Amino acid sequence: MKHQYRSASLLTGVLWACTASAQGVDSTAAELAPVVVNASADASAAGLAPEYAGGQVARGARIGLLGNQDIMETPFVSTAYTQEFIQNQQARSVADVVQNDPAVRSARGFGNFQELYVVRGFPVYSDDMAYNGLYGLLPRQYVAAELLERVEIFRGANAFLNGAAPGGSGIGGAINLVPKRAPNEPLTQFTTGIESGGQRYLAADLARRGGLDDSTGVRLNAVRREGGTAVSGEKRELSLFSLGLDYRSTDWRLSADVGYQDHHLDQPRPSVTPSGGIPSAPDATKNYAQPWTYSDEKQTFGTVRGEVDVNDRVTVWAAGGMRVGKEANVLANPTATADGKTTTYRFDNVREDTVHTGEIGVRTSMESGPVKHKLSAVASAYSLDSRNAYAFSNFSGFSGNLYSPTSVAAPAADYYTGGVLSSPKTTEETRLSSVALADTLSFAADRAFLTLGARHQTIESKGYNYGTGAQESAYKKSHVSPMAGLVVKVAPRVSVYGNYIEGLAKGDVAPATSGGQAVTNAGQALAPYVSKQKEIGIKYDGGRFGGSLNAFQTTKPSAFVVNQTFTEAGEQRNRGLELSLFGEPVRGTRLLGGVTTLDARQTKTEGGTLDGKEVIGAPRRQVNLGGEWDLSAVRGLTLTGRVLHTSAQYADAANTLTLPSWSRYDVGARYVTQVAGQAVTVRLRVDNVTNRSYWASVGGYPGANYLVLGAPRTFVLSATVDL
């Protein structure tokens, strides 16, 4: 894979560089030699898939236990966004990256500021993302982009490939985040920046290789952000440190990562729950948050992965990791009527997590006559110990208005409590374990690939009383998730594919009563919910420009009471078409984007009252188109632009509340030059250039219909220097 490490400087240095260039200093665009990285983030011999033409996406991505796969040889759709693209967009978090994908939209966790990603109409919680293939290791609410070499988005159900997500999401897709590794050439890179509201930014990215044949690599990233945002009164702080290590030998490889992230928000603008109607979107620069609200998250995490070539055909790998996290929030999320009048109460909560996760696996290859086999087997385990406490103020709350917000004194959070905020008890334990086996068969001189496999998954969880710590619930169920996928290369540049694959999530526990009557199976745990996906598609790889077109259907079950018995009886059905485009069709012109059309329906509802109604927060159409143009008239100057469109979506299950459609336009530029022999890159981006005020999302968390206001026009300026 290639990297063009462009450089940077402090803002004062940038201004000097631009002035010096005008006065005759060599402003020739820095010609940075491609860096070939043999070290691999996943400790595999092949390394990561190479970049596609244009450098914005890669030619392949990790497909669960199957490992890294070329886009033309896998029966799924996935996109891997590169570190170069992430840096050029000045992405702050994973949400900024996934906004480039036409099948994905960003939302927010229920009641807090957790980033949440909606893929094919289903949520992927941020704590259900994988880090180098392992669940549960990443910061739970917000993941800074500087940690990442790649953001890999897999579209579709994936229980066989990755195992069930511990938080119960991931039905519509999965996100795997790939850590950085040291390239072959030394890297000493500093970036500084500023954005609307006074947010200041400083980052360092350092890497070296050493030892015999440069076998050992070290990469260090450090980031600090602080200051206001484009939203009035809102402040954000981020401190990040990560260290990536790798060692490569002739027949074995080892990598390790350790990281710490401290993310703090003061007076963050909250989500809004509509009541009786959708209020018009307030001025995007206004803040209806109370000044005493905040969100704080501190996470420490580490992982290690190793791979050994037993012989030419057999490779064994193992990986493990751990995360320790602490969160504290003081929240006040308003409920608003159609005219913008609000009622709000205070909600405090704390959470402390300890996660352990790991896997072991083996891959081998063999031939049976004209058929080639690639066999993979893996065993995985995950455990979470979560300690929680909460406190509410009086639910009658205090009144206000979205359009003319006022501050009130913080009410006491002593009306309804669970546990002790200063010393939370264990309230949840989750254990996941699985064993999976896959065989990819290749026929007809590697023009056809058939993948078959199954994963046996066990989901176990226990719930405990917030106050006493006594166990109140227990769940332990198992399921086998099969998968079948076929790829046929019908022409050198064209592949057609199809798949059947399932999603898996923990079933619910029957309530004690329903409608004032006793439930006959109260306390019974239902079997895991099995989502079923069917998909067909076609892919094109023109060498410099590629794309895919596919159709899918996913059904997701749910449960409710039928004749006073709690049973799996409900269903959601999502059907869609996806078109994706990427690459550099003309040298100096790069395109990235596509269109998703979605028909997400409630097909089996209690009493049939909502049958045929659309799902909350599932727009029928999403359009993304981004472009970059290298100006030949000004060497080193690149102009960028992007349009995002999301059609109208419903904000209630009965489809009586409608969120308007919205479109957002982003523009930018970057300029690469040399100053005193150092490569300097200046980047400018303006998001929401028309300063449109709009509700960006509704829902996100199943059954919730809260609204998230889009950010106002935001200027981001940064500069990078290589030393």
- For 170-204, b/e burial (b = at least 16 CB within 10 A) is bbbbbbbbbbbbbbebebebbbbbbbbbebebebb
Q: How far is CA 620 from CA 293, 556, 577, 644, in A?
A: 35, 18, 10, 14
Q: How far is CA 510 from CA 368, 464, 555, 559, in A?
A: 50, 17, 22, 9
Q: Kindly state the average pLDDT of the residues 234-245.
A: 98
Q: Where are the domains of the chain?
A: 11-355+385-424+480-722
List, for residues 449-466, the tens digit of each pLDDT value: 999 999 999 999 999 999
**Residues 6 or more apart whose Cβ sits within 8 Å of residue 14:** 680, 682, 719
Cβ count within 10 A of residue 542: 12
Q: Which residues pair with 301 in a beta bridge?
A: 259, 323
Does residue 32 surpass a pLDDT of 60? no
Determine the pLDDT at residue 12: 34
Of the candidates 124, 132, 131, the residue with the CA atom closest to the CA atom of residue 165: 124
Instruction: Quote the DSSP letter at residue 606.
Output: G
Determine the pLDDT at residue 46: 77
Cβ count within 10 A of residue 694: 18
Whether residue 389 contacts residue 425, with contact meaning beta carbons closer than 8 Å, is answered with: yes
Topology of domain 11-355+385-424+480-722, CATH: Maltoporin; Chain A (2.40.170)
**Residues 6 or more apart whose Cβ sits within 8 Å of residue 597:** 576, 577, 578, 620, 621
List, for residues 480-508, the tens digit of each pLDDT value: 999 999 999 999 999 999 999 999 999 98
Determine the pLDDT at residue 42: 73
Determine the pLDDT at residue 39: 58
Determine the pLDDT at residue 8: 33
- For 604-629, b/e burial (b = at least 16 CB within 10 A) is bbbeeebeebbbbbbbbbbbbbbebe
Q: Kindly state the average pLDDT of the residues 525-545.
A: 96
Residue 34 CA to residue 183 CA, distance in Å, equals: 10
Determine the pLDDT at residue 5: 33
pTM, whole model, 2 decimals? 0.93
Does residue 22 surpass a pLDDT of 60? no
Does residue 191 surpass a pLDDT of 60? yes
Whether residue 332 contacts residue 347, with contact meaning beta carbons closer than 8 Å, is answered with: yes
Determine the pLDDT at residue 295: 97
The number of CA neighbours under 13 Å toward the Cβ of 91 is: 27
List, for residues 117-135, the tens digit of each pLDDT value: 999 999 999 989 999 999 9
Residue 158 CA to residue 122 CA, distance in Å, equals: 13
Determine the pLDDT at residue 47: 84
Q: Kindly state the average pLDDT of the residues 439-445.
A: 95
Determine the pLDDT at residue 159: 97
Amino acid, single-letter form, for residue 494: V
Three-class SS state of 212: helix
Q: Mean pLDDT score of the chain, rounded to an integer?
A: 92
Determine the pLDDT at residue 702: 79
Q: Where are the beta strands (DSSP E) in 48-110?
A: 60-62, 68-70, 77-82, 104-108
Of the candidates 683, 548, 710, the residue with the CA atom closest to the CA atom of residue 74: 548
Of the candidates 5, 57, 46, the residue with the CA atom closest to the CA atom of residue 219: 5
**Residues 6 or more apart whose Cβ sits within 8 Å of residue 517:** 564
Residue 281 CA to residue 115 CA, distance in Å, equals: 21
Determine the pLDDT at residue 41: 73
Band of the pLDDT at 176, cuts 50, 70, 90?
very high
Q: Kindly state the average pLDDT of the residues 573-593.
A: 98
Question: What percent of the chain is modeled with pLDDT above 70?
Answer: 94
Between residues 45 and 591, the one the model is more confident about: 591
Does residue 706 surpass a pLDDT of 60? yes
Determine the pLDDT at residue 112: 83
Band of the pLDDT at 38, cuts 50, 70, 90?
very low
Residue 162 CA to residue 132 CA, distance in Å, equals: 11
Torsion of CA 17, 683, 546, 665, to 10 degrees: -140
Residue 147 CA to residue 258 CA, distance in Å, equals: 10
Q: How far is CA 717 from CA 13, 43, 202, 669, in A?
A: 13, 35, 12, 10
List, for residues 658-679, the tens digit of each pLDDT value: 999 999 999 999 999 998 889 9
Of the candidates 296, 224, 297, the residue with the CA atom closest to the CA atom of residue 266: 296
Question: What percent of the chain is modeled with pLDDT above 90?
Answer: 88
